[in-house]
Structures are given as structure tokens and as C-alpha cells.
Amino acid sequence: MKQTLLLHTSLPTKVLTFAAALGIAALPTKVMAHQVQTNYFLNNRAGSESIELRTTFSNGEPLKGAKVSVYSPDQPFRARATGITDSQGRFTFAPDEAINGDWEVNIERAGHQDILTVPVTEEGIDIDLMASNGIEDQGGTDFHYATSSPWTVVGGIATALACVGFARIGGKKATE
């Protein structure tokens, strides 16, 4: 005689399972593993401004050996300067103040990347505009912070609610 095992799941369990799957799918695992952040240090020497970039992982480890490409506003598809970050994750460049506009700096190594915008005007690097682009001035040093996706919050909330719901269902079954 053949026996068939039927699994009966309630509607709340199905909804919670869906919420947990949705929450886990919404979490950006690659970004959460190693977020990259770059600090800016503005140097004004001999009437010329340069920017020292220091790129690190979110745990503070330097992003050493990363390829750096700097693009000017007048030739956005051709790198005006290239280089490699040193053992401390540092790279320095001086934008040509005669070329006004947004300079783009791309820092990349093994799937980790940070893209920064450096606004340049006739007066040089525009610190006020940099502050409005996610850079804070703290004690004379400007810091650029990476932002995370709103889906991270949605995924975290959905996963937490699903876990609470499963715990409540499991608690009810244990008392029966």
C-alpha cells in the first residue's frame, strides 16, 4: 500500500515565507560584504590645488593596488590621468583649473569600485559643491561617504518581520 505525505501549510506561513524570500532577495550581498569609501584631502600648495584620495574598505583596510582613472569635463570618455593606489590606498592628482566642470574619478579593483565627482571652477576646487555631493567637512578634512540602496532597508524589514512571524507560529505549535 502506497502512502502519500501531504504537507498542509497555513496562509500566514506562506505569506511569511514569501516575505522572508523577498527580504533576502532585496539585500545587496556584494555591497554589504565590502563597501568601499574614499576620503578626500584637499591640498593647497604654491597656488595650486591637488586632491589626495584615500580609499578603504568599510573595515578600514586600504584598497591598495586599485586602478584610478581621472576624466576631465572636456573629454569625459578619455582618461586624462591614470594611476594605481599605493599600499595605503592613496592617490593624488591636481585637476587643471582651466578646465571647469565636474571631473570624474573612478577607483576600481577586483569588483570593488568608487566613482567620485570633483567640481572645478575658475577659483579651483569647489568645496561647497563637494559638500552637497555627499562630502562632509570635519576639521579641515573632507570625507566622501558612500550611500546604500533603500532596498537594503526594505529587505531588512521584510526579513525581520518574517522571522518574528515564524517565531510566533513556532511558539503556538509548541504549546499545542
**CA angle at residue 56 from 86 to 29, to 5 degrees?**
135
Listed by start position, the domains of the chain span: 11-28+151-175, 35-147
List the pLDDT tens digit at each of the 176 positions of the chain: 555 444 445 666 666 666 666 666 655 544 444 688 888 888 877 667 888 889 998 888 999 999 999 999 999 999 999 999 999 999 999 999 899 999 999 999 988 888 888 899 888 887 677 666 554 444 444 444 444 556 566 666 777 777 777 666 666 655 65
Q: What pLDDT is attached to residue 75? A: 93
**Could you give the residue ranges of the DSSP H alpha helices within 28-111?**
29-33
CB 65 within 8 A of CB 85: yes
Q: What pLDDT is attached to residue 40? A: 81
DSSP H helix total and E strand total for the chain: 4, 10
Q: What pLDDT is attached to residue 133? A: 59
Instruction: Look at the domain 35-147 and name its fold.
Output: Immunoglobulin-like (2.60.40)
What 8-state DSSP symbol labels residue 62?
A: B
Q: Indicate the angle between helix axes 11-26 and 150-175, nearest 10 degrees.
A: 150
CB 64 within 8 A of CB 91: no
Extract long-range pairs of 59-63: CB within 8 Å, 24+ residues apart. Answer: 59/34, 62/87, 62/88, 62/89, 62/90, 63/36, 63/89, 63/107, 63/109, 63/112
Q: What pLDDT is attached to residue 106? A: 93
Give this prediction's pTM. Answer: 0.58
Q: How far apart are CA 159 and CA 149, in angstroms?
A: 16
